[in-house]
Structure 1
Amino acid sequence: MTFNPDAEIRSDNVSAAGHGGGARSPRGGRARGLKIGGGGGCLLLVIVVIYALMGGNPLDLLGGGTTTPQGPVAEGGSLEHCLDGADANEQDDCLVQATIESSDSLWSQLAPAAGIQFVEPQGRVFDGSVQTGCGGATTDVGPFYCPADATIYVDIAFFDELSGRYGADGGQLAKMYVVAHEYGHHIQHLSGTMRDADRSQTGPQSDAVRLELQADCYAGVWAHHAANTVDEDGNAMLAPLTERDISSALSAASAVGDDHIQGDVAGGQVRPETWTHGSSAQRGAWFTTGYQHGTVQACDTFSADQV
């Protein structure tokens, strides 16, 4: 899936932060490798995943277990080089910005229709480290959403890890899925679902897993409508999806399944009772549900008998 080269992607709510001068695109400079691998849900890396599998709340590692701000948020600079869809097709930081802009276009319509008071999230691309409303985070943490400052944080080096270490195919929609999933957490924050979920329990049917699968489903909803999202001038932002695009997104969903991380990536025993994000099959199935139906109502994982 590609962005319309002429689509306007400039943004007032997406910026760059982090030490070393902020984020850099893979074409423009060194991509900082993430340390130990892993991911899922908020797409946290193995340090965070192991903590979660032991029963901890991953946001605690960021100082963000509650929605109380833990410190000042780093000031960011605008991504001035990200002007149009052609930039998004070539540079990953611009892809992040464009995906958030496309999601803004969609959810500003879907959320109110579902009874959710909509407010756009902030987006922050970082490299190395960043200060968030949930506390400090480093490159050891992949893309995540902080409810304390309603901001999506993305270290674009994670995209290389997603394909090189975890087995996603590296396609554009695989990367967009990551951002759309985190945007899904923002919708959960606005709706109160994130607040109400009991994330202290683990396992394939736990609230923690249902929360992550709902965000996967919301990513699928975005994919369903993505080609119809428009910029401020009414221009389509994305080209229609192909079967190859959907396969790319499903490869990313499978790559961050708990069973794949525990067994194939970490080389350990698969322990379903410890899952906090869902299996590869679960994640792919709920993304597909969102994509096929395209509605918020189809993503009610908390009412489903089995997820």
Structure 2
Amino acid sequence: MSFNDGAQLDPSQVEDRRGSGLGRGTKIGGGIGGGIVVLLLALLGFNPNILGDLGGGSQPPAIESGSGGGVNECRTGADADKRLDCRITGTVNSLNAFWPTYLADYNVRYSQPGTVIFDQATNTGCGAATTAVGPFYCPADVKAYFDPGFFDELVTRFGSSGGPLAQEYVVAHEFGHHVQNILGNLDRAQQDPQGPQSGAVRVELQADCYAGLWVRHASSQADPATGQPFLDPITQEDLQDALSAASAVGDDRIQQAATGRVSPESWTHGSSEQRQKWFYQGYSTGDINKCDTFGVAVP
């Protein structure tokens, strides 16, 4: 979805940790192969408490400190249409405008999560993390983390569309985990961490549904500064971009590409078909009550 050119972005909602010259540590598992292994467990929403156990003896990554000024240049919707970091910023702004109003109808108070953009490696409340883990939400420090380099991986390695809603879907999915944290469902992933009907899979599919729910309302959610919507109306091409991203990060598709076989017993996020199904469920209904992945026999 494209942004309205006149939308006013608020870069203060994003912490930019890029540009310090640090964070060049060893990737978990040692490069692309290890990165895929980690992504099988981690992609789009992993709580990286166990990163030390996956490191294979490598040294923890160097951690950057301070913050860069990159997103401070993100001021308008036109910027969001031109630059990925500004698109992340604008999507964060839209999500932070949508969820408080939506949840208020259910007498639930929404608190803004932190959002961090980093490059290669960063420190989090859930431990040290690198690009290899993909975007994730950490409930320990209540922040969502994004390395913009992942979005190239989403296209080149996983075959997703590179359209804007494919990228915005990723941000909205992580914010879906924050909503689950508020509602008390996020811990169910840890209680039942693997398998095609596991709590982990149901948590991830619900976050996909929440992402779709936001998409349904995004083009009518007003920018508080201007009273105009942040985003233009969704097109069929936009919808296909989001569905492409949801399919690209299905456990079955990633496993097939990485190992040549599919092992449902080790799933943590759900199949490509399931991820598309639940994203579309949220989008088509616009109703959080229709995102109850825990209330169905097979998600």
TM-score bin (small chain): 0.7 to 0.9
1:224 aligns with 2:224: no
Q: Equivalent residue for 2:57? A: none
Q: Equivalent residue for 1:278? A: 270
1:242 aligns with 2:220: no
CA distance in 2, matches of 1:133, 1:112: 28
Q: Equivalent residue for 1:41? A: none
Q: With the length of structure 2 as denominator, give the TM-score of the two structures.
A: 0.86
- Structure 1 residues 95, 131: CA separation in 2 closer, same or farther (over 3 Å shift)? same
Q: Equivalent residue for 1:86? A: 78
CA distance in 2, matches of 1:195, 1:275: 17
CA distance in 1, matches of 2:14, 2:266: 35
1:60 aligns with 2:49: yes
CA distance in 2, matches of 1:209, 1:4: 35
Partner of 1:136, secondary structure, is strand
CA distance in 2, matches of 1:149, 1:62: 16
CA distance in 1, matches of 2:119, 2:144: 14
CA distance in 2, matches of 1:173, 1:22: 31
- Structure 1 residues 130, 52: CA separation in 2 closer, same or farther (over 3 Å shift)? closer
Partner of 1:167, secondary structure, is coil
* Residues 228-261 of structure 1: CA deviation (Å, up to 9, x unaligned): 1221221210000001100000000000000000
Contact 2:252 / 2:263 at 8 angstroms: preserved in 1? Answer: yes
* Residues 201-254 of structure 1: CA deviation (Å, up to 9, x unaligned): 422111110000000000000110010122122121000000110000000000
Contact 1:230 / 1:236 at 8 angstroms: preserved in 2? Answer: yes
Match for 1:46: what amino acid?
Answer: I
Q: Equivalent residue for 2:129? A: 137
Match for 2:3: what amino acid?
Answer: F
Match for 1:243: what amino acid?
Answer: Q
Partner of 2:219, secondary structure, is helix
Contact 2:40 / 2:251 at 8 angstroms: preserved in 1? Answer: no
Contact 2:47 / 2:136 at 8 angstroms: preserved in 1? Answer: no
Partner of 1:158, secondary structure, is helix
- Structure 1 residues 96, 198: CA separation in 2 closer, same or farther (over 3 Å shift)? same
1:184 aligns with 2:173: no
CA distance in 1, matches of 2:42, 2:135: 16
Higher relative contact order, chain-length normalized (CA < 8 Å, sep 6+): 1
Q: Equivalent residue for 1:252? A: 245
Q: Equivalent residue for 2:36? A: 46
- Structure 1 residues 229, 275: CA separation in 2 closer, same or farther (over 3 Å shift)? same
CA distance in 1, matches of 2:105, 2:22: 37
CA distance in 1, matches of 2:22, 2:75: 18
**Superposition RMSD on alpha carbons, in Å?**
2.5
Contact 2:47 / 2:137 at 8 angstroms: preserved in 1? Answer: no
The counterpart of 2:294, out of the listed 299, 302, 307, is 302
Q: With the length of structure 1 as denominator, give the TM-score of the two structures.
A: 0.84
Q: Equivalent residue for 2:186? A: 194
CA distance in 2, matches of 1:133, 1:202: 23
Tell me by how many angstroms 1:18 deviates.
4.1
Match for 2:249: what amino acid?
Answer: V
* Residues 158-198 of structure 1: CA deviation (Å, up to 9, x unaligned): 11110111011110000000000001001011111112444
Q: Equivalent residue for 1:76? A: 67
Contact 1:89 / 1:95 at 8 angstroms: preserved in 2? Answer: yes
Tell me by how many angstroms 1:62 deviates.
4.3
CA distance in 1, matches of 2:231, 2:33: 31
Contact 1:17 / 1:127 at 8 angstroms: preserved in 2? Answer: yes
What is the aligned-residue identity percentage?
Answer: 46
Q: Equivalent residue for 1:9? A: 9
Partner of 1:277, secondary structure, is coil
Contact 2:20 / 2:65 at 8 angstroms: preserved in 1? Answer: no
In the alignment, structure 1 segments of 5+ residues that lack a partner are: 24-33, 39-44, 64-71
Q: Which moved more, 1:192-201 or 1:224-233?
A: 192-201
Partner of 1:145, secondary structure, is strand
Give the helix-richer structure, 1 or 2: 2
Match for 2:88: what amino acid?
Answer: V
In the alignment, structure 2 segments of 5+ residues that lack a partner are: 24-29, 53-62
CA distance in 2, matches of 1:162, 1:37: 15
* Number of residue pairs aligned between Structure 1 and Structure 2: 280
Contact 1:2 / 1:238 at 8 angstroms: preserved in 2? Answer: yes
